[in-house]
């Protein structure tokens, strides 16, 4: 990696307005930058494509963060890319160039695809390729819109490149899990085709044992529909049918909820077969309960309304702490309906990065599968409450009480179908205790998130805490 003479003000302006930037609202400056390498595959009359890594320092004194910037360098201005222009400056490798966000540029992204198709030997950028799929080199790239923390580019209907924007040294769990499940032949993930990484360096510029994992290329799911969108459509269908129950409407979701429960159970089984499984002691369980209590204490500072539920939450955590042990393994870590896709070949689970707010080392730790189950149960509860709050309907206020009843009916039906299919049996007392604690912990997290981002929705997790008996 080489130091770059980056125009930091231009790059800071670009990063500050980027959808994927996680530090919005915090004052920062770029305090360092390195050229990780040039993407191979350059062709005549095409752009030179490089990947830079910038160091961000925050005025509030938080930890430095590192962001990946794939850049396309052109000697002449490109009118077709005006929306993606970052600026014009003299680059030490390519001379004075007009510089663009490479992910918007089909010519630039073709360099990535060619590099995955025939990974070059040597060089700082290391393209890894799994056998078994011939890439379509004639496909054009299209940048997805709407993503928050990463950037994804589709190559026609053939493959999808996910570019990780915020970079932490070490193995990315999304790549590690997709690699293992793809090799194992799992039906519940999009197959991994390859990934890109580069050696990490220390503060002196010397290589370390760690890697920086930059991107992953995987199967494009042509027939996929977002699980969250399907659930919302089901709820709207129910609300539109004034005289029918959840099991009577054409858009009943319970069958899909059950199939999703089976998919998660099989995915957990595959992860347990290929990653370490550990039996944790009673002391470890007490530490888990203490961590939940600590999150509750911190949440009370943001959501004082949680005080009404403190005694019930403490009882839930006490029950957890009384367990003699817990079995932990690699899990998804941030599972909800938005992390699932329904295809003609069944449910697929996506985005195994874990909770984005957690440090990478914490996201790699094993945990109880019941955390994933709890995340899905909370998502099944959220879907009808969101539709309830945004429902236009016929404009009659008299339907409010009925919609609240229908929302509860939809939630209960689908949570029950999912849990029964996942567990395959009536959960034991210990399993119910674990699940109740994880559900409560998730609801506390949601309360903080809503208070900070959508204050009018904070009632959703608070009402859930009341319904699950922790009032």
What would the mean pLDDT of 232-247 be, rounded to a whole number? 84
Calpha distance 217→190 (Å, rounded): 10
Sheet holding 225-226, edge to edge: 225-226, 340-343, 346-349
Residue-wise pLDDT for 111-161, tens only, equals 999 999 999 998 899 999 999 999 999 999 999 987 678 999 999 999 999
What would the mean pLDDT of 223-240 be, rounded to a whole number? 93
- Percent of all residues in the chain with a pLDDT value above 70, rounded to a whole number: 95
Domain spans of the chain?
2-219, 225-467
Calpha distance 10→86 (Å, rounded): 7
Give residue 393's pLDDT.
55
| Burial tier of 452 (Cβ tally within 10 Å: 0-12, 13-18, 19+) | exposed
Residue-wise pLDDT for 425-453, tens only, equals 999 999 999 999 999 999 999 999 999 98
**Secondary-structure percent of the chain, ordered helix, strand, coil, rounded to 5:** 45, 25, 30
What would the mean pLDDT of 285-290 be, rounded to a whole number? 97
What would the mean pLDDT of 353-371 be, rounded to a whole number? 88
Which residues does 396 contact at the CB level (< 8 Å), separation at least 6?
A: none
Per-residue pLDDT band at 25 (split at 50, 70, 90): confident
Length of the chain: 471
Least confident range from 327-331, 357-361, 387-391, 415-419: namely 357-361
Give residue 201's pLDDT.
79
Give residue 1's pLDDT.
43
Residue-wise pLDDT for 49-86, tens only, equals 999 999 999 998 888 999 999 999 999 999 999 999 99
Could you tell me which of 191, 292, 254 has the C-alpha nearest to residue 419?
Answer: 254
Using the predicted structure, report yes or no on whether residue 298 has a pLDDT greater than 90: yes
- Percent of all residues in the chain with a pLDDT value above 90, rounded to a whole number: 79
Give residue 278's pLDDT.
96
CB contact at 8 A, 299 and 444: yes
What would the mean pLDDT of 203-210 be, rounded to a whole number? 72
What pTM did the predictor assign?
0.90
Using the predicted structure, report yes or no on whether residue 4 has a pLDDT greater than 60: no
The three-point CA angle 267-367-442 to 5° equals: 95
Per-residue pLDDT band at 470 (split at 50, 70, 90): low
Give residue 148's pLDDT.
74
Between the alpha carbon of residue 351 and those of residues 52, 103, 126, 216, 271, the distances in Å are 24, 20, 22, 11, 15
- Higher confidence at residue 367 or residue 356? 367
Least confident range from 249-253, 316-320, 440-444: namely 249-253
| Topology annotation, domain 225-467 | Aminoglycoside 3'-phosphotransferase; Chain: A, domain 2 (3.90.1200)
Using the predicted structure, report yes or no on whether residue 5 has a pLDDT greater than 70: no
Average pLDDT of the residues of the chain: 92
């Amino acid at each position: 990696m080489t130091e770059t003479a980056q125009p930091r003000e231009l790059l800071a302006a670009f990063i500050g307005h980027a959808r994927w930037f996680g530090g919005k609202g915090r004052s920062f400056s770029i305090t360092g930058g390195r050229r990780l390498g040039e993407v191979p595959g350059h062709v005549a009359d095409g752009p030179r494509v490089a990947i830079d890594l910038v160091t961000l320092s925050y005025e509030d004194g938080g930890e430095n963060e590192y962001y990946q910037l794939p850049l396309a360098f052109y000697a002449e201005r490109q009118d077709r890319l005006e929306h993606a222009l970052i600026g014009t400056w003299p680059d030490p490798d390519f001379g004075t160039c007009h510089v663009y966000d490479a992910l918007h540029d089909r010519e630039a992204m073709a360099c990535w695809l060619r590099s995955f198709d025939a990974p070059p030997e040597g060089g700082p950028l290391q393209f890894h390729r799994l056998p078994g799929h011939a890439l379509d080199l004639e496909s054009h790239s299209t940048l997805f819109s709407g993503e928050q923390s990463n950037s994804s580019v589709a190559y026609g209907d053939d493959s999808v490149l996910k570019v990780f924007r915020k970079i932490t040294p070490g193995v990315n769990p999304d790549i590690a899990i997709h690699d293992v499940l793809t090799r194992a032949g799992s039906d519940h993930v999009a197959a991994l085709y390859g990934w890109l990484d580069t050696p990490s360096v220390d503060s002196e510029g010397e290589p370390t044992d760690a890697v920086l994992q930059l991107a992953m290329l995987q199967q494009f799911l042509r027939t996929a529909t977002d699980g969250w969108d399907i659930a919302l459509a089901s709820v709207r269908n129910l609300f539109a049918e004034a005289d029918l129950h959840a099991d009577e409407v054409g858009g009943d979701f319970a069958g899909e909820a059950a199939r999703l429960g089976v998919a998660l159970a099989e995915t957990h089984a595959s992860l347990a077969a290929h990653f370490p499984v550990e039996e944790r002691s009673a002391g470890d369980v007490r530490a888990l309960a203490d961590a939940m209590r600590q999150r509750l204490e911190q949440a009370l500072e943001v959501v004082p309304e949680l005080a009404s539920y403190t005694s019930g939450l403490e009882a839930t955590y006490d029950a957890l702490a009384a367990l003699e042990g817990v079995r932990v393994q690699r899990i998804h870590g941030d599972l909800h309906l938005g992390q699932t896709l329904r295809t003609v070949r069944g449910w697929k689970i996506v985005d195994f990065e874990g909770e984005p707010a957690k440090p990478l080392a914490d996201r790699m730790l094993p945990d109880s599968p019941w955390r994933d189950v709890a995340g899905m149960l909370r998502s099944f509860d959220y879907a009808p409450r969101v539709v309830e709050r945004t429902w236009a309907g016929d404009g009659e206020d008299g339907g409010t009480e009925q919609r609240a009843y229908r929302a509860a009916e939809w939630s209960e039906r689908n949570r029950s179908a999912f849990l029964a299919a996942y567990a395959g049996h009536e959960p034991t007392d210990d399993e119910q205790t674990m699940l109740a604690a994880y559900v409560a912990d998730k609801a506390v997290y949601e309360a903080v998130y809503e208070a900070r981002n959508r204050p009018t929705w904070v009632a959703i997790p608070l009402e859930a805490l009341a319904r699950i008996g922790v009032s």
